[in-house]
Structure 1
Amino acid sequence: MPVIRLYSPAESPGVTALAQLADAVTELLGLPAGQCWVWWQQLRPGTYHRPEWRGDPENPAPVGLVICKESYGNGQVGALLRVLQERLAELLGVRREEIYLTVQRATAGELLVRDEVWSPDAGQPAPEPIADLVPVAYVHNERRELTDDHWGDVPSVIRLDGGRFTPEALLSLDSFSHLEVVFHFHRVEPGKIQTAARHPRNNPEWPLAGIFAQRGKNRPNRIGVSRCRLLKVDGLDVHVLGLDAVDGTPVLDIKPYLRQFGPREEVVQPEWVDDLMRDYYSGSPEPESPEATP
């Protein structure tokens, strides 16, 4: 829950404006509404020194302090500061570059929220990033736009890194009909990562679901897993159909799909998933003919 304190010699822009600012933050971070607090503190003359505030300026740009958990990544914090700067400039009619913001991160054990001292892993060391992952291949296809549906008839080539592998790495892969491909959502900006709950595809008609209760691409580690049909293996090229990854996607691993790894019990899922997936693996829509275009 970010806490934002804004300081200025000017009067507050009002509760509605501050609420809009908080809503922009929760939307960016994928937090439920109300999970951001904003304070505006009007400074009395003689209690501050800032050259830009000399001479009683008509629209003094505020300075701000943002307090958040240390678990927010640098990309998220950077995006948060940019959003605050842009929205404040719009609300107050000031120049963005005159708005100064800084961040204070609360580490585990230093933040009391809802009568509980925040400690994500009590007694456990902080998680360390895994830095030794190197793509084994890259995806080549005609899909370049980040659209959600119509992956069923998309052909792709997964081309192994020839500097690290020989065709021997793919020996006997063509005896399987389907593959599991682990890849990186490389085109998701760090500032767009979701860590809480959101409406799937931002559709308000579907209920809020935590980021780990959906398969959206804006995930904390930006890792995707897909099952696709294997067409053929040609040297270092693996030809597949229905891989939902755009051109240039880094592939982290390729595994043959074994039916024994499928669920051994009945699969249960909410109704909104059926709506979301209705056109996901359908073929590409037929283009409208010129005669049908009004």
Structure 2
Amino acid sequence: MKIFKIISQVVVKYMAILIVAGAVFGLFFPKMNIVINNTSWIPYLLGVIMYGMGLSVKLIDFKELIIKPKFVIAGVLAQFIIMPLLAWALVSLFNLPMGLAIGVVLLGASPGGTASNVITYLSKGDVALSVAITSCTTFLAPFATPFLVNLIIGQKIDINLIAMFISVIKIVILPIILGILTHMFLPKLTKTLKEIFPSISALTIIIIVTVIVGINSQKILSNLSVIFLVVILHNILGLIFGYFVGKTLAKDTKDMDKVKAITIEVGMQNSGLATSLALLHFAAYPLATVPGALFSVWHNISGGILASIFSRMK
């Protein structure tokens, strides 16, 4: 058990490096991945991550809606306005092929990712606010994500809104609710699970990235510069606009921890959800899975850099 804990700590500590290594491995050695032709289990892996998130969510987290309603509401609105608009702008500006366009739009329309809570903590930001915004955007995702995807690209392709709504419920909402119930009624089990789930989540993300990149290795290599440029711009511009939203609301320097939280929440998406929805609903466009996978790689790098900068700010 002690060895397992040490391994878990190493996996979590070096998660960003391992994700990059997984992406490189999938890109240049795709045939060595024994499960590369089977992606049907990826949505279930995301469900495991969401269950881990549910274990950490407490009803008291939502008190932030009462204590700091303007920051929570602003974070949620910024998440579902700024990132979809940026996705639409980048898709239009670079005239992306439909597969990549779908992937970028799915990414922009997704809720905040669980990694944002960790980066907020490392940035010395308001973690409670970060968790509240992540939770709110996640529970709104079954409605917001299909609506936004349909709004941006629905006129170009057929989108089954009901099927997408059900998918988000199954792979995101139900596992989180199960995690919350475990936390409420099985506290001893929760304590044990919370020790191992960060490493499980990290390994799951590494596997998803490696497989998705491996499957699309040839297409990625032929479009590498455009894909990475769009993914990086989406993330960085989201962080910049999120920062200005937070600064607009902040009264003085005492609110800087909230500014950090909103910045990170807006710029960091649930890329696993975007990848899973692409697999489930846009199989005719294989490249739709790529932006989400590459975003998982990049936002852990940019998040680490941002945390280093933010943690030094007074």
More strand by share: 1
Larger Rg belongs to: 1
Same fold (TM over 0.5): no
TM-score normalised per structure 2:
0.23
TM-score normalised per structure 1:
0.24
More helix by share: 2
